[in-house]
Amino acid sequence: MPRHPRLTDRDIPELTALVLRLVLQSPDALTVNTLSTELGESPRRIQRTLTAAEAAGWIVTRTGKERRLTLS
């Protein structure tokens, strides 16, 4: 998958969409670090995005460092 350009704070909805798409398309659970590397974003920013997704009604299932999103 091609690397995505670094997004600014104005692009948070776009980052959220990219994170959700990668997680949902992946046959395996992805770690925050894997998503961070794939998108060229910091792990902290990816974690904030996942936290925002949870607040919006997505369920982030944790197994160690792995995470899986499902719509609640």
Q: How far is CA 13 from the centre of its chain?
A: 11
Range of the domain at 40: 10-71
Distance of CA 17 to the CA centre of its chain: 8
Report yes or no on 60 lying in a domain.
Answer: yes
Domain count, the chain: 1
pLDDT tens digits, one per residue of 25-62:
776 777 888 888 888 888 998 888 888 877 777 766 66
Strand, helix or coil for residue 31? strand
Q: List the CATH number of the domain containing 15.
A: 1.10.10.10
Q: Domain for residue 54, yes or no?
A: yes
Domain-located, residue 42: yes
Residue 23 binned pLDDT confidence (cut-offs 50, 70, 90): confident
DSSP per-residue codes, 19-68: HHHHHHH-SS-EEHHHHHHHHT--HHHHHHHHHHHHHTTEEEEEETTEEE
Q: Assign 7 a pLDDT band (cuts: 50, 70, 90).
A: very low
Whether 3 shows a pLDDT value over 70: the answer reads no
